[in-house]
Amino acid sequence: ERVDLPKGSVIGIDILRIAPLDGAQLLSSHDITEPSTHEALERLLPEAPADVILSDMAPNASGLRELDHERLVIKCLSVLDLADKVLHPGGSLICKYWDGALARKLQQRLSSMFQDVRTVKPRASRKESAELFFLAGIHGIEGTI
Catalytic residues: 96
- Residue 6: partners with Cβ closer than 8 Å, 6 or more residues away: none
Q: How many CB atoms neighbour CB 103 within 10 A?
A: 19
Helix axes 65-86, 103-113, angle to 10 degrees: 10
Strands 87-98 and 50-55: parallel
- Indicate the SS3 state at residue 31: coil
In 3D, which of 106, 93, 95 has the Cα closest to residue 51? 93
One-letter amino acid at 136 equals A
